[in-house]
Amino acid sequence: MKNVSLAFLVSVFTLTVITSSAQNKTFGIGTSTLNPNAALQVDAVNQGLQLPRLTTAQRTAMTLDPVKDKGLMVFDTDLNGIHVWDGSKWVNNAKIPLPIDETLTNSVDGSSLFRIVNNGTATGNFRVASFENTNPNNTAPVVSLANPSSGYSLYSKSTGTGENAWFEVSNPTSPGSPVVAITNGVGLAGLFQVTNKTAGGTALQGMTNSD
């Protein structure tokens, strides 16, 4: 009888909490100060919210409705990321929303504001970063770098045995140049230098098969 009474009291207490929260249209966990703009509010110290954890196979095997299941979130244990069903496909939380317009007033000395590192061992050739503009009506630069300080606008360093930088115009009818160097300052428009005298390399080499 004592067990039945205890269970009954717990049920009544739980029902009271849920009813009170429902009246505020907010269900709160770990807090009594509810945010009316939130349907669910979870406050905790040294704890986090854990979503359902599925493998990629389990996630992609789900039969989802484009309307009813829109906004469904799971954590993919194979890809180590949160995935959201947008109504037609799974969207990874690693996707960067565009456009991005950020201004940083301070940074750590020697750090990078944007850095991508590939330290994998997979075979095959692939780009670490690729910027493409496939709009034929857009004549703006694909990548624009501006640096009003005395440092470099672009710095490229390679520790391998291949070319450090490659610029190519692959359209045979294009009158454009792979590289254009213009300066309105007092320095050089371009500087090519070999600092390893035993390499026997050439600082600058130009070739053409046209007239």
pLDDT digit string, tens, across residues 141-188: 888 888 888 888 888 888 888 888 888 888 888 888 889 999 888 889
**pTM score, whole prediction:** 0.52
Report residue 188 as tokens. 């050089």
204 neighbors 193 (Cβ within 8 angstroms)? no
Whichever domain contains 72, its CATH number is 2.10.10
- Beta strands 27-29 and 40-42 are parallel
Residues 12 and 41 in one domain: yes
Residues 66 and 92 in one domain: yes
Residues 58 and 92 in one domain: yes
Residues 25 and 41 in one domain: yes
106, part of any domain: no
Tell me how many domains the chain contains: 2
Position 25 scores a pLDDT of 80
**For residue range 80-126, what is the model confidence (pLDDT) as tens digits?**
889 999 999 998 876 666 788 888 787 788 888 888 888 878 788 88
Q: In terms of residue numbers, what domain contains 36?
A: 1-45
Residues 63 and 90 in one domain: yes
Residues 4 and 33 in one domain: yes
Q: Which of 58, 79, 98 is the last residue of a domain?
A: 98
Residues 87 and 64 in one domain: yes
31 neighbors 41 (Cβ within 8 angstroms)? yes
Structure-token match 């009544």, residue found = 12
66, part of any domain: yes
